[in-house]
Every structure is written in structure tokens, then in C-alpha cells.
């Protein structure tokens, strides 16, 4: 037994220095000192020794275990030092190398123009109002003088959620909500997302943005609408801007008009962008219908008002000479990086 113990100690002295990593070191420890290791197997033979031999062999076994454990600790410390040095070499940073730059985002062209529109109207005394995108049929149609059987509903191609709930087709419902809560005078614009089942082309999308405007006060006329829209257009596009007012019909305004700007792509000569007309429609408006005022809780005998709805996408296309609305939604970085 004494010879076996000494052989284990001698093997530990020679083999430990040859181990190259912590995993090999742990395997050696289990093989020699573990519960099923070589030293444990020898100690199980102590019962076969005489009473005089047991203390001597027990002391020798403890000395062997202690010496092997010390060797293991020394080798483990040496291996950890080597690993740490290699890790530091691999993670060394060359501070002379150029740094990695992070791309910083910027405003989308729609956001740029919307902020400009807000600034213009706020400067003209308007306030910003908002409303829900998931709207009741009453606010989106009925309160705006569009009863369930009105033929104008057929042109909206509405996304209905339930029979009485829908994705709003315009931001005009905000008109009624503001009039219900606020007494005249009222001067607001209501920008937001709207939804219609339109076919996608260069100037149409089922998802787009509209900016509703509403002014209610005593003595408001069509001339006020025209003057404010001219001021707005010149502030946004420059003093050279030309607008065209055309008579039109909207159920919620009377009289009504559509407003066009000269086509930016052809300069008014006619092209596919403007469908050969030389003009591009950007908004519709008119004097608020007395029924709409009444539905909003406003006395039409005392107050009058005007309203308009502007397509933000078309404003943006004209502002940046973009000839296809789809570019605004495709998230192509080659396009967005230009703004």
C-alpha cells in the first residue's frame, strides 16, 4: 500500500506539469482524488492492515492527498494566469484605429412637411386637435350630414370593424368632437392617419394622412377660407405659388370647393402625374353646412364657419418634387436618405 501511495504522488508530480488547461486539470483531480479515484480505492484497503500499520498508512495517505492538492492549486493558478494573458491579448483594442460610426436617423419627409404645416397654422392662430382612428359611424358620417343611405358613402370604400365602428376615412370627425366640447370661436387643425380601400397608384394609397381644418365664429365667409389657404400655400411653397379654386360638392360643406396647385412635374403642361390636366388637387373645403354646426352643438343662426381637408402626402410630393406617393411608404433608404 505504501508503494502504491508513493507511485500516485510521483505520477502527480510528473503529469500535472503536462496538463494544458483547467478542464484537463479537473479530470486529473477526479481521477486521483475523487470519490471513485485511485487514492480512495487504496484507502478502502485500510481494513486489511494490522492495528500497528493503519496509523502509519493513514498519515502517509493524508500527506499524499495534501501534496497532490497543493500541486493542483499551483498548476491551476499557473493555467489561469496563462488564460488571462491570452484573453487580454485577444481583447486588446487598438486605439489608433478609426472608430465605428453610428447612423443617426432623421425625420421622414411626411414628418418634415407636417411640422411645417403645423408651424404655419399655429402662427395663424390655430390649435392642434386630435381624435381616434377607430371611429364611430356617427362621427365619421352621420354627424357630417352623411346618413346611412347617402350616395357619397359609396365613394369612401370604408373599412368597417362592426356595423357602427370603422377606421376613419377622414379626420373630419374631429370637427364634431371639438364642437361638442368647445364653444365658438374655434380655430383648429386636426392632422392624422385615415384609411380608405383605394387602389394603390402614384397618387393614391389605402393608408394616408389628412389635415382637417375648422374655423367657427361670427361672420366667417368663403373669403376667409380663400385668404387663409392662399396664405398657407405661399408660406409652404413660396410667393410664386398658384392655386385654383373649383366649385364642388361635399355633403358637410355648402358652398364647397376643391383647391389645386400647378403640377410640379410638368409645370402645368399636362403629364401622367396630373392626368394631363396640369393641376394636382391638394385639398377640398367650403363653408360648414348648418346641419353639421347644429350636430356639433353650435347655433347656425349665430355662427358660421369653414372647413377643409388637406392631403399630407400630396403636400409632401409637391414640396419635394416627388412624383410617386408609393415612395413615401416603401422605406427605401436610398430614397429616405435624401431628406
Same domain for 142 and 176, yes or no, is: yes
The residue out of 90, 117, 140 marking a domain boundary is: 90
- Confirm whether 101 is domain-assigned: no
Question: Once rounded to an integer, what is the mean pLDDT over residues 234-263?
Answer: 88
Please report, for the domain that includes residue 227, its CATH number: 3.30.930.10
Backbone dihedral angles phi then psi of residue 214, each to the nearest 5 degrees: -145, 130
**Same domain as 113, residue 86:** no
The answer to whether position 14 is within a domain reads yes
Shared-domain flag, residues 189 and 146: yes
> How confident is residue 41, by pLDDT bands cut at 50, 70 and 90?
low
State yes or no: pLDDT of 307 exceeds 80.
yes
Residue 291 and residue 322 in one domain: yes
pLDDT at 324: 87
Are the C-beta atoms of residues 278 and 270 closer than 8 Å to each other?
Answer: yes
- 82 and 220 share one domain: no
pTM: 0.66
Single residue among 55, 90, 125 that ends a domain in this structure: 90
Residue 284 resides in a domain: yes
Query: 43 and 185: one domain?
Result: no
Mean pLDDT for the stretch of residues 71-92: 80
Q: Note every long-range contact of 76-79, with CB atoms under 8 Å and residues 24 or more positions apart, other chains counting.
A: 76/22, 76/25, 79/19, 79/20, 79/21, 79/22, 79/25
Domain that holds residue 165: 109-336
For the chain, state the CA radius of gyration. 41
For 154-165, how does the pLDDT look when each residue is reduced to its tens digit (9 = 90+)? 656 788 999 899
Kindly indicate the confidence band of residue 104, based on its pLDDT and cuts at 50, 70 and 90: confident
CA distance 221 to 276: 33
- 3-state helix/strand/coil string of the chain: CHHHHHHHHHHHHHHHHHCCCHHHHHHHHHHHHCCCCHHHHHHHHHHHCCCCHHHHHHHHHHHHHHHHHHHHHHHHHHHHHHHHHHHHHHCCCCCCCCCCCCCCCCCCHHHHHHHHHHHHHHHCCCEECCCCCEEEHHHHCHHHCCCCCCHHHHHCCCCECCCCEEECCCCCHHHHHHHHHCCCCEEEEEEEEEECCCCCECCECCEEEEEEEEEEECCCCHHHHHHHHHHHHHHHHCCCCCEEEEEEEECCEEEEEEEEEECCCCCCCCCCCCCCCCEEEEEEEEEECHHHHHHCCCCCCCCEEEEEEEEHHHHHHHHHCCCCHHHHCCCCHHHHCCC
Q: Does the pLDDT value for residue 69 go beyond 80?
A: no
pLDDT (tens digit, 9 = 90+) per residue, 188-210? 999 999 998 888 887 778 889 99
Q: Is 98 among the domain residues?
A: no
Which is more confident, 74 or 108? Answer: 108
The number of folded domains in the chain is: 2
Assess whether 44 and 167 both reside in one domain: no
C-alpha grid cell, residue 97: 484605429
Between 259 and 24, residue with greater pLDDT: 259
pLDDT band, residue 123 (cuts 50/70/90):
very high
Last-in-domain residue among 58, 90, 122? 90
Flag whether 102 is in a domain. Answer: no
Identify whether 100 is part of a domain: no
Say if 210 falls within a structural domain. yes
Listed residue (113, 106, 128) closest to 235, CA to CA: 113
* Residue 96: inside a domain: no
pLDDT of 306 above 80 = yes
Amino acid at each position: 500500500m505504501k508503494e502504491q501511495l508513493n507511485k500516485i504522488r510521483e505520477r502527480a508530480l510528473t503529469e500535472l506539469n503536462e496538463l494544458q488547461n483547467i478542464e484537463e486539470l479537473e479530470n486529473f483531480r477526479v481521477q486521483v482524488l475523487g470519490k471513485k479515484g485511485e487514492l480512495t480505492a487504496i484507502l478502502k484497503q485500510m481494513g486489511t492492515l494490522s492495528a500497528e500499520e493503519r496509523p502509519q498508512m493513514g498519515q502517509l495517505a493524508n500527506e499524499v492527498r495534501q501534496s497532490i492538492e497543493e500541486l493542483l492549486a499551483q498548476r491551476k493558478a499557473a493555467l489561469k494566469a496563462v488564460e488571462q494573458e491570452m484573453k487580454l491579448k485577444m481583447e486588446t483594442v487598438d486605439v489608433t484605429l478609426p472608430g465605428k460610426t453610428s447612423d443617426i436617423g432623421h425625420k421622414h419627409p411626411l414628418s418634415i412637411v407636417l411640422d411645417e404645416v403645423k408651424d404655419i397654422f399655429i402662427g395663424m392662430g390655430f390649435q392642434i386637435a386630435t381624435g381616434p382612428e377607430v371611429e364611430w359611424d356617427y362621427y365619421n358620417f352621420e354627424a357630417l350630414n352623411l346618413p346611412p343611405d347617402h350616395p357619397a358613402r359609396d365613394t369612401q370604400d370604408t373599412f368597417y370593424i362592426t356595423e357602427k365602428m370603422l377606421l376613419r376615412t377622414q379626420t373630419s370627425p374631429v370637427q364634431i368632437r371639438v364642437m361638442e366640447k368647445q364653444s365658438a370661436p374655434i380655430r383648429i387643425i386636426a392632422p392624422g392617419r385615415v384609411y380608405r380601400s383605394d387602389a394603390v397608384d402614384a397618387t393614391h394609397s389605402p393608408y394616408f394622412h389628412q389635415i382637417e381644418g375648422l374655423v367657427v365664429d361670427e361672420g366667417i365667409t368663403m373669403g376667409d377660407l380663400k385668404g387663409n389657404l392662399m396664405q398657407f400655400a405661399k408660406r409652404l411653397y413660396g410667393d410664386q405659388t398658384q392655386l385654383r379654386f373649383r366649385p364642388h360638392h361635399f355633403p358637410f360643406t355648402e358652398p364647397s370647393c376643391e383647391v389645386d396647385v400647378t403640377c410640379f412635374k410638368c409645370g402645368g403642361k399636362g403629364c401622367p402625374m396630373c392626368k394631363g390636366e396640369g393641376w394636382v388637387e391638394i385639398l377640398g373645403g367650403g363653408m360648414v353646412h348648418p346641419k353639421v354646426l347644429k350636430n356639433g352643438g353650435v347655433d347656425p343662426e349665430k355662427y358660421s364657419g369653414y372647413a377643409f381637408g388637406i392631403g399630407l402626402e400630396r403636400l409632401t410630393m409637391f414640396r419635394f418634387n416627388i412624383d410617386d406617393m408609393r415612395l413615401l411608404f416603401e422605406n427605401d433608404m436610398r430614397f429616405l436618405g435624401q431628406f
